[in-house]
Structure 1
Amino acid sequence: MMADVFKDKVVWITGGGSGIGAALAREFGVQGARVVVSGRRMEPLEEVVAALESDGAEAIALGCDVTRVGDIESTVTAIAERFGGLDVAVANAGFSVGGRLEALNASEWRRQFDTNVTGAAMTLRYALPHLYASKGRAVVMGSVAGTLGIPGNAAYCASKFAVRGMAQALSAELAGSGVSCTLLQPGFVHSDINRVDNQNQVHEEWEDRRPAQLMWPADKAAREMLKAIASRKREAVITGHGKVATFLAYHTPGLTQTVLAKAGERLRPKHHHEE
């Protein structure tokens, strides 16, 4: 299905040093793409690049904080100078602010939206001139949490609802341009998201307490994501439980709300809010 779709294509993945981003990088490398991974921490990015190169793929790592527009601009410029263009831009960088709405302060809300929403929007904004030239693919990392309001995760859910609306608007704006926009909506996938605090700092020692029985390996999720990107789907829900949850949210919203209310914050527990 994906034979030669991504061969020699230039793919940029923000937040590419771990979790879904790193898994996507590996899968694009398997498909023959030239891969650029970016993020705030160079060490994990360089580890991803080393693994890709050991498998024969061409890859580079670039430092980029998506909350800084200057970083995004310089990253896109560096990609264009190195490879001559860009074919796929994956706005994957993001994290989760946890806590009940009454416990979160304004700075935590701003930090959540600066990364997950504005960061994604600016990633695509500066990638688009190159995607127009290549008739490429814009990819936005959403979440099943962009359809379900999960207790204890109001800020994260709100950011992913916003990302979903942004992706739908962008798809309409791109109509007829030859550029596609794919919104990916994963459910529970192995990643570091529950090891990142409300200040967007990683704590390797923290336990991921999401439901283990529902968790998908990142490489499995990445393979499904590549299929959606290759076929230029507008939206793709990843994981079986994610598909069930979004179906129920659309078709039985009252029942879904009742179940979520009873489940409380156990469905996706986070470490306690810290001032």
Structure 2
Amino acid sequence: MRVLVTGAGSGIGAATARVLTARGHDVVATARRVEALDHLDVAQVLALDVTDDRSVAECVAAAGPIDVLVNNAGISETGPLETYPHDVLQKMFETNVFGPMRMVRALVPAMRERGHGIVVNVTSVEGRVAAPLAGAYCGTKHALEALSESLALEIGHFGLRVVIVEPGYIAPGMRNGVRHGEDGTVYEELRRQWSGADDTLVGPEGRPAPELVGEAIANAIDDPATPLRVPVGADAELVLATRSAQDDATFHATMREVIGLTW
């Protein structure tokens, strides 16, 4: 199958492109900067900015017929919501939510006409479980989860599939990226306590490597019986199982105890 992967310059996207190519799929790898794709040996590389309508249209036209869309491109910038910059919040939703929907609108019509196609949306364990200082990121992933489930109910009638892949905290961890409004504020202590949460839960070995997520995405594409949601990683499985078994207050208390939060 011909598979278009967004955000393929590094991490999950690059790993997915490599795994799919090794399995015999024709991969169209995309990234904002096409030179970021030089390390990949794939069928085609294209520049793509999922936040720009013209870029999306040009990429889709150059790629030709696509059987599978892997919406992987995304960003994460953390910080307390009280002080979180509104322009950064908008940028996060533009990239993590509206971007994937641009790709869906650009590619699903042709899939529907052909009677087959797959949309794989990469969310996160934080698309189902919220965390402090990651509210903006969690918000985008919760939104993409809901949109994906609605999409599955809408386009399944036409023979199309939707899969939501939910990785745990990919090393070195999303929380180690750009931060806003923490240092020197009342939230600095929360940042200090929460910074070791990933390792406290399952240890570094419990986090899924990008290659493991790439394998999960490839398996979902190759197996028509794949369920709607696919958690990936020991941390994702542990957190989601605990969350589903407890009410809100109990879960929050459990997380505070396990991580050692006094906040």
Which of these residues, 66, 90, 93, is aligned with residue 70 of structure 2? 90
Give the alignment partner of residue 242 of structure 1, picking from 236, 240, 249.
236
Q: CA deviation at 1:256?
A: 1.9
Would the aligned equivalents of 2:207 and 2:234 in 1 still touch at CA under 8 Å? Answer: no
SS of residue paired to 2:39: helix
Segments of structure 1 that go 5 or more residues without pairing to the other structure are 1-8, 53-57, 200-207, 266-275
CA root-mean-square deviation? 2.3
**Matched residues in 1 for 2:241 and 2:38: separation?**
39
Q: 1:67·1:114 contact (CA, 8 Å) conserved in 2? A: yes
- Deviation of 1:193 (Å): 4.6
Q: Aligned partners of 2:26 and 2:125: how far apart in 1?
A: 29
Distance 1:45-1:14 versus aligned 2 partners, 3 A rule: same
Structure 1 residues 191 and 31: alpha-carbon distance in aligned structure 2, compared to 1, 3 A threshold: farther
- CA, structure 1 residues 98+143, in 2 after alignment: closer, same or farther (shift >3 Å)? same
Deviation at 1:123, TM superposition (A): 1.0
Question: What is the CA distance between 1:264 and its match in structure 2?
Answer: 8.0
**C-alpha displacement of 1:134:** 5.5
1:50-69 deviation line (CA, Å, top 9, x unaligned): xx2xxxxx422111111111
The residue type equivalent to 2:26 in the other structure is: R
User: Which residue pairs with 2:16 in the alignment?
Assistant: 24
Given the alignment of the two structures, is residue 115 of structure 1 paired with residue 95 of structure 2, yes or no?
yes
The residue type equivalent to 2:236 in the other structure is: G
Q: Comparing 183-192 with 235-244, which one deviates more in the overlay?
A: 183-192
- Alignment identity in percent? 26
Whether 1:181 and 2:162 are equivalent positions in the alignment is yes
Contact 1:18-1:191 at 8 Å conserved across structures: no
1:184-243 Cα distance to aligned partner (Å, 9 max, x none): 1010224785565369xxxxxxxx975323222211221122212322431111112211
The answer to whether the 8 Å contact 1:142/1:163 transfers is yes
Check the 8 A contact 1:189/1:221 in 2, yes or no. no
- Establish whether residue 223 from structure 1 lines up as the match of residue 215 from structure 2: yes
- Aligned match of 1:41: 33
| Equivalent of 2:147 in 157, 166, 171 | 166
From 84, 93, 97, the equivalent of 1:104 is 84
The answer to whether the aligner puts 1:129 opposite 2:109 as a matched pair is yes
Work out the CA distance in 1 between the residues paired with 2:260 and 2:92: 21
1:108 Cα deviation from its structure 2 partner: 1.3
- The corresponding residue for 1:74 is 58
CA displacement at 1:12 relative to structure 2:
0.3
Q: Which runs of 5+ in 2 are unaligned?
A: 181-194
- Alignment check: 8 A CA contact 1:131 1:138 kept: no
Say which of 121, 129, 140 aligns to 1:140: 121
Task: Quote the Cα distance in structure 1 between the aligned partners of 2:172 and 2:3.
Answer: 21
- The one-letter code matched in structure 2 to 1:106 is H
Q: How many pairs were matched up?
A: 238
SS at match of 1:11: strand
